[in-house]
């Protein structure tokens, strides 16, 4: 992966792709305001993403490299990045299949087992101030998962949601009580896992090559059940096959199904901050269920 100085805001996706690949851009197709496919003169197609925050670009590039270094899950190659642009391999997609799901479960277990220096540890070369989707996310290392998860993943987003009025002040107490009880609710202690960090279905690509590829990480050291809980939160094709295969390689601690809601509090609160009251109500329901268990 190559990091280079920015060429300026006037540069477009095609020029950025040419600069980082060393090949002429033949055409470009915008997919959103921040993402485009660029066809190169030799027929290859690459993905070009523009980031408004240099930290977001740096974090994604470092996260992709860290996941790739584990030699487990498939992630797109990074052709280059700077403060504004990230150019990566394009993954042709296909249909979900049982064989790909089983391999994905095994590979995800191996990725988690590759480990991290601490809970909250950023990828090597990644910034402390990173992002999960469009929401800021601070990677602050900690040794104790329940305390770290409460302080750096749940409570910051709860406070912002209360400040924004999305969660009423009187409602926030139920989430705070869950955080207070995390040491008893969290299950057996585990070492920090190497997480994708934003493992919802939209970041899981079923490749035309019959393998699963992961994109758009918010990578950090965390609890492996958090990645799995996010897969379950928004649905994933062949999820039972994925989980069964995962369990064959790295069995989860007893009671893990009862802890899914605890691990979903973080992404639910992120969505509450970004998208509003509907996710706030889901967050509160999950928190109440955790306390009642």
Cα dist from 124 to 3, 45, 83, 251, whole Å: 14, 28, 17, 28
User: Cβ(57)–Cβ(85) under 8 Å?
Assistant: yes
Residues 6+ apart with CB under 8 A from 9: 84
Write the Ramachandran bin of 229: left for phi over 0, alpha for psi from -120 to 50, otherwise beta: alpha
Q: Of 82, 107, 198, 216, which is the active-site residue?
A: 198
Residues 6+ apart with CB under 8 A from 192: 115, 116, 117, 118, 119, 121, 145, 221, 222, 223
Write the Ramachandran bin of 261: left for phi over 0, alpha for psi from -120 to 50, otherwise beta: alpha
User: Cβ(168)–Cβ(162) under 8 Å?
Assistant: yes
Angle between helices 277-292 and 169-185 (to 10 degrees): 40
User: Cβ(187)–Cβ(256) under 8 Å?
Assistant: yes
* 163 assigned to active site: no
CA 204 to chain centre: 10
Strand pairing class (25-30; 220-222): unpaired
> Which residue shows structure tokens 């999305």?
166
Residues 6+ apart with CB under 8 A from 221: 115, 116, 117, 118, 119, 120, 121, 141, 192, 193, 194, 195
What residues are annotated to the active site? 198
């Amino acid at each position: 992966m190559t990091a280079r100085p920015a060429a300026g805001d006037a540069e477009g996706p095609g020029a950025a792709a040419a600069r980082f690949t060393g090949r002429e851009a033949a055409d470009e197709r915008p997919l959103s305001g921040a993402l485009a496919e660029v066809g190169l003169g030799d027929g290859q197609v690459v993905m070009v993403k523009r980031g408004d925050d240099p930290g977001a670009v740096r974090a994604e590039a470092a996260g992709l490299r860290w996941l790739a270094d584990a030699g487990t899950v498939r992630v797109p190659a990074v052709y280059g990045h700077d403060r504004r642009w990230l150019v990566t391999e394009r993954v042709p997609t296909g249909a979900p299949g049982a064989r790909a799901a089983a391999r994905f479960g095994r590979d995800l277990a191996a990725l988690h087992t590759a480990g991290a220096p601490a809970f909250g540890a950023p990828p090597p070369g990644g910034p402390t101030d990173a992002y999960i989707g469009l929401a800021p996310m601070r990677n602050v290392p900690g040794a104790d998962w329940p305390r770290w998860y409460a302080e750096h993943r749940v409570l910051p987003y709860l406070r912002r949601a209360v400040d924004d009025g999305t969660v009423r002040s009187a409602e926030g107490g139920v989430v705070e009580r869950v955080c207070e009880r995390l040491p008893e609710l969290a299950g057996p202690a585990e070492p920090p896992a190497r997480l994708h960090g934003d493992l919802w279905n939209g970041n899981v690509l079923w490749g035309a090559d019959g393998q699963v590829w992961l994109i758009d990480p918010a990578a950090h050291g965390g609890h492996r059940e958090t990645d799995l809980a996010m897969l379950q939160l928004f649905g994933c094709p062949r999820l039972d096959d994925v989980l069964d295969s995962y369990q064959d390689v790295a069995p989860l601690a007893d009671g893990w199904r009862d802890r899914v809601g605890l691990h979903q509090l973080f992404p639910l609160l992120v969505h509450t901050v970004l998208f509003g009251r509907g996710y706030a109500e889901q967050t509160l329901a999950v928190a109440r269920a955790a306390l009642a268990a």
